[in-house]
A and B are shown apart, each in its own frame.
Chain A
Amino acid sequence: MDELSSGAILLAVIKRFLPVWIALIVTFAVSIRYKRRLGLYGRLFDSTIGMIGFALVMFWVFTALFSDLIVTRDVLSQISGMKNKVPGTPVPDGSGWYLFGGDHLGRDVFSRMVAGSRVVIEIAPLATLFAFMVGITLGLPAGYYGGKLDAGLSFLANLILAFPVILLFYLLVTPEIVETGLPQYIAIVLFLFPIIFLMVLVNSRYYVMPAFRTKVLTLIAVIGGYLYLSLVGEVGTRVAVLPNALDLIHVPGNILIVFVSVVFVNSPTVFRIVRGLTLDIKTRDYVSAAQTRGERPWYIMLWEILPNARGPLIVDFCLRIGYTTILLGTLGFFGLGLSPESPDWGSTINAGRKLLTIAPHPAIVPALALMSLVLGLNLLADGLREESLKD
C-alpha cells in the first residue's frame, strides 16, 4: 500500500468520524427546529459564536461517546516499524494506515487522540459539577449569613487560592500520598457535599409535606450513601467500608487523586463566585418578601437566591470545564497521577515533546485536540453570556 497524501488523510479522517457527523447534524437539526421552546439552550442557536462553540464541544462529546467505533487500531498495541512515522504511513501487514502517524513507541496517534477524548469527557464535567456542589453548599450560607462563618470560610478559600496550583499537584498527586490514604480522606469530605446539597434542597422545599419529604430523603440517603461509600472506599486500601462483593465502582487510587485534587482546586473559586452573587441577590425585594412570609433561611438560599443566580453560574460552569480540562492536561504533562500508558492528551503531549523537533506530530495532534475543546467551551460560555444578558 502507498503512503497517503494529505488530502487522502483528511478524507479518511472525515470518514472515520462519520458517527459524530450524523449525531451532530441530528442534534443541530432538532435544536434549531425547536429553539423557541428550549429556553436559554434554544437561544444559544441565535448567536454564531455560541453555535460554533457548541459544535466544537459536542464534537468531542460525541467522539468520546463513539470512540470505540472511530478508533482504527488498538490504543496500546505497538508496531516496531511504525516508530515516529509521518501521518498517512501504511501499516507493514497491509491492514490499514496510521492516519496521524506513529508515536515514539509505534502506536497509532489518531486512535490515541480519539481515546484520549474519553478520559477528558469522563472526568472534567463531573469534577466541575462536584466543585460546584461544594462551592454552592458553602458559598450560599457564607454570603447569606455573613459574619464569622463568612470570614472563616473566605479565609480558607483564600488559603487554597494562594497555593500555586502546580505545587499543590506536586504535593498531592504522588504515589507516597496515595499510600497514606490522604486522597481518600479528602474524598470523604468533598464527596459528602453533593449528598448534603441534595438533601437540604429537598428538605427545604418539601418541609410542609413530611410524608413525601421523608420518602425522598431516604431514597437520596440510600442511593447517595451507597454510591458515596462505593466511590470513596476500596478494598485493600486504608478506607475500606464495603466488602468487595458490594463495591461496584472501582476507582483506581491514581484516578481518584486526580479527580479529588481537581475538585479541590476549583471549589474555592466557585465558592467566591457564589458568595458574591448571594451578597448581591439577598438585597433584592423578592428575598425580603420571602423573609417576611416567614420562609426559613435554606429555602430562601436554595429556592429564591440560587435560581436567580443561574445565568452567571451556567456561564462559569462552561468556562470551568475548560479550565479543568487544562488542569487535567497539566497533570498529564508532568506525568502526575494518570499512568504513562494512558491515552489522555496531557500524557501524550508529555510523551511526544521529547522528540518535538524531529517528529512533532505525536505532540501536535493531542495539543490541537485539547485546544479546540477548550476553545469550544470558551466560545460556548461567551455565547451563553451574550444570550443570557439579552433579557
Chain B
Amino acid sequence: MLKFLLRRFAIMVLTALCLTLVVFFLTNLPPNLEKLAKSEVGSRITDEAVASWLMKNGYDRPLLVRYGEWLGVAPGWTREDEGVTTGRCIAHGQDPATAPRFCGVLQGDWGYSSFFKAPVAQKLGYHLGLTGILMFWVMVLMVPAALLIGVLAGMREGSKLDRSLSTFSIASTATPEYVSGVILIAVFASSMFGLKWFKGTASGAMDDITFDNFFLPVLTIALYGIGYIARMTRASMTEVMTAQYIRTARLKGVSFGKVVTRHALRNALIAPFTVIMLQFPWLLNGVVIVETLFSYKGFGWTLVQAAGNNDIPLLLGCSVVAVFVVLVTQLISDVGYVFLNPRIRIS
C-alpha cells in the first residue's frame, strides 16, 4: 500500500511539473511578453524599447532558467545598473543584501498581478474562497440528488421509473452549463414568462448569499454533473442488484426496501465515489462558465480576467491551482477506490 502511494505521488509531482512547464511556456511566448511590455510602458514604444524593457526585467534569459526562478529552485536574477542593484527577489527600495536568494512558488511568492495590481497569492486566496462557497453548495445539491436518482433508477432495471429517470440523466448530460444557465435565467429571472423568482446575476452573493441570488448558479453547475453521476450510480446499482447475495437475501424473505438499503447500497456506492472525485475537473469548467455567466467573482472569473488581460503571474497562479485540484482529486479517487473496496484492499 505504501509503495503504491509513493508511486502515485511521484507520478503526480512529475505531472504537475510537466503541466506547469507547459503553461509557463505558453504564457511566456514572445508575443505575450511583447504585449506585456507594451501594456507596462506604453503601446507606442519601439521594438528596441520593448527589448530593453524585457532585458531590464529579466525576461531575456532562457525559458528553463526563468521557469526555475518562478518555481523557486533557481536563484532569482539580479542586475547592476548604475550602482543600483535590482532583481527578481528584491522589492522596490529594499536593500539587496537583505533580499532572499530564492523567491518562487515554493517559497510562497506567487508574483505580482499586473492587471489587479495586487499580490497574486492574496488575490487568488480571496477569489478561491468565494468559489469554495459555490462548490460547497453545488456538492450539497448535486451528490445526494445524483445518488438518489441513480439508486432509484438502478434498483429495478427496465421499469418505468428507470426509463424516465435515465432519460432525465441523458438530457442533463446533454445540456452544458452555458445552455442550462441561459434557459434557467430566461425562465426564472427574466420578463419572458414573468416569473422573476430569482436574480439573473450572482454579483450580490459575494457579500450576502441569499436563496434568490445563489440558487440559479448552484443549480446550473449541479445539473450537468447530476446526469453523469446518476448514470454511473445506476450502472453500478444494476450490477449489484443481479448479484447472488441479493437474490439470497430476497429469498430469505428480507423486504425489498431493506435489501436495497442494507445489502445493495453499500456495494453500489463504491464506483460513484470515484466518479464524483473525477467530476472535480469538470466542475472547474462549469465554475468558469457559470461565474462568467452570473458575474460571480470567484476563481473562474479570475482565470478569465487573467487570460483576457495577459496577466502572466496571475494566469500561472490559476493554472497551479487548477492543476493541483485535478491531480489531488485523481489521487484521492485512486487511493479511495482501493481503500473502499475490500476486494482490492485485502489482496
Contact = CB atoms under 8 A, between A and B. Distances in A.
B219 interface: no
A164 B285 contact: yes
Contact of B26 (A162, A172, A368, A377): A172
A363 interface: yes
User: Interface majority SS on A: helix, strand, loop or mixed?
Assistant: helix
A172 to B, nearest CB: 7
Contacts of A162: 15, 19, 281, 323, 326-327, 330
B293 interface: yes
B171 interface: yes
A371 B175 contact: yes
A367 B220 CA distance: 14
Contact of A171 (B27, B173, B285): B27
Contacts of A370: 176, 179
Interface string B307-331: 1001000010011001100110010
Nearest to B179: A367
Given A172-B26, A353-B293, A375-B171, A360 B178 contact: no
Contacts of B22: 163
Nearest to A336: B307
A177 to B, nearest CB: 7
Contact of A382 (B23, B32, B170): B170
A180 B29 contact: yes
Given A170-B303, A364-B183, A164 B326 contact: yes
Contact of A326 (B176, B284, B318): B176
Interface in A340-391: 346, 349, 352-353, 356-358, 360-361, 363-364, 367-368, 370-371, 374-375, 377-379, 382
B191 A167 contact: no
Interface string B165-180: 0010011011110110
Contacts of B171: 375
Interface string B42-62: 000000000000000000000
A329 B15 contact: no
Instruction: Kindly state the interface size class of chain A when it binds its partner.
Output: 35 or more
B303 A371 contact: no
Contacts of B35: 176
A46 interface: no
A251 interface: no
Contacts of B318: 167
A172 B323 CA distance: 16
Contacts of A352: 182
Contacts of A360: 182, 185-186, 190, 192
Interface in B1-39: 11, 15, 18-19, 22-23, 26-27, 29-32, 35
A357 B31 contact: no
B189 A357 contact: yes
A367 B26 CA distance: 32
Given A360-B190, A367-B183, A379 B170 contact: yes
A208 to B, nearest CB: 43
A356 B182 contact: yes
Given A159-B19, A176-B32, A167 B176 contact: no
A151 to B, nearest CB: 10
24 contacts: A49-B167, A155-B11, A155-B15, A162-B19, A162-B327, A163-B323, A163-B326, A165-B285, A170-B307, A170-B315, A171-B307, A176-B35, A326-B176, A349-B178, A349-B179, A349-B182, A357-B185, A357-B191, A358-B191, A363-B182, A363-B186, A364-B186, A368-B179, A368-B183
B200 interface: yes
Interface of B: 11, 15, 18-19, 22-23, 26-27, 29-32, 35, 167, 170-171, 173-176, 178-179, 182-183, 185-186, 189-192, 200, 281, 284-285, 288-289, 292-293, 300, 303-304, 307, 310, 315, 318-319, 322-323, 326-327, 330
Given A322-B174, A371-B179, A382-B170, A356 B185 contact: yes
Given A179-B31, A360-B190, A166 B182 contact: no
B303 A167 contact: yes
B31 A378 contact: no
Q: Which of A49, A159, A333 has the most CB of B within 10 A?
A: A333
A21 interface: no
A17 interface: no
A171 B323 contact: no
Contacts of A176: 29, 31-32, 35, 310
B178 A371 contact: no
A140 B81 CA distance: 58
A158 interface: yes
Contacts of B192: 360-361, 364
Contacts of A66: none
Nearest to B31: A176
Contacts of A356: 182, 185-186, 189-190, 200
A364 B184 CA distance: 10
Contacts of B300: 166
A228 interface: no
Given A329-B178, A334-B304, A378-B174, A180 B30 contact: yes
A356 to B, nearest CB: 5
A75 B81 CA distance: 59
Contacts of B31: 176-177, 179-180
B281 A164 contact: yes
A330 interface: yes
A374 B284 contact: no
A378 B326 contact: no
Contacts of A167: 23, 303, 307, 318-319, 322
A358 B190 contact: yes
Interface in A313-342: 322, 326, 329-330, 333-334
Contacts of B185: 356-357, 360
